[in-house]
């Protein structure tokens, strides 16, 4: 994904959409996981309404991101970049369309089964 030339807010919105889709979830499915409606997810993903810290924390938990979105939010709202956010942004910019974490772990688990056989 191209991260150069977009605002931090737009980057956050793109990542929300990309990671939800990569997890194979619709807006309605994510909404169920984070206790809000699909229309609420939509207005946040399109930028019509800004996300809140509690929403991003819930998305982090639902998508198993390890606090990625809360970290990006903190960086945007405090203006204090932290090391994790910088590394995450750099990695997202270069990794392209790598498998989502859950799929990567499943592939590794399957491969590990063959190593012990």
- The residue with greater pLDDT, 83 or 38, is 38
Mean pLDDT of 46-66: 92
Distance of CA 82 to the CA centre of its chain: 17
CA pair distance 91, 66, nearest whole angstrom: 14
pLDDT exceeds 90 at position 32? yes
pLDDT exceeds 50 at position 2? no
The domain defined by 8-115 carries CATH number 1.10.10.10: no
Least confident piece of the model among 12-16, 29-33, 103-107: 103-107
Q: Which of 7-11, 36-40, 91-95, 105-109 has the highest mean pLDDT?
A: 36-40
CB 22 within 8 A of CB 100: yes
């Amino acid at each position: 994904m191209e991260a150069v030339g977009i605002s931090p807010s737009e980057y956050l919105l793109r990542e929300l959409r990309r990671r939800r889709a990569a997890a194979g979830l619709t807006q309605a499915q994510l909404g169920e996981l984070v206790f809000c409606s699909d229309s609420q997810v939509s207005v946040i993903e399109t930028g019509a309404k800004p996300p809140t810290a509690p929403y991003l924390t819930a998305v982090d938990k639902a998508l198993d991101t390890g606090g990625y979105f809360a970290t990006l939010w903190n960086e945007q709202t405090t203006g204090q970049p932290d090391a994790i956010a910088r590394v995450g942004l750099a990695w997202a910019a270069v990794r392209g369309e790598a498998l989502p974490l859950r799929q990567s772990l499943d592939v590794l688990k399957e491969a590990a089964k063959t190593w012990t056989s």
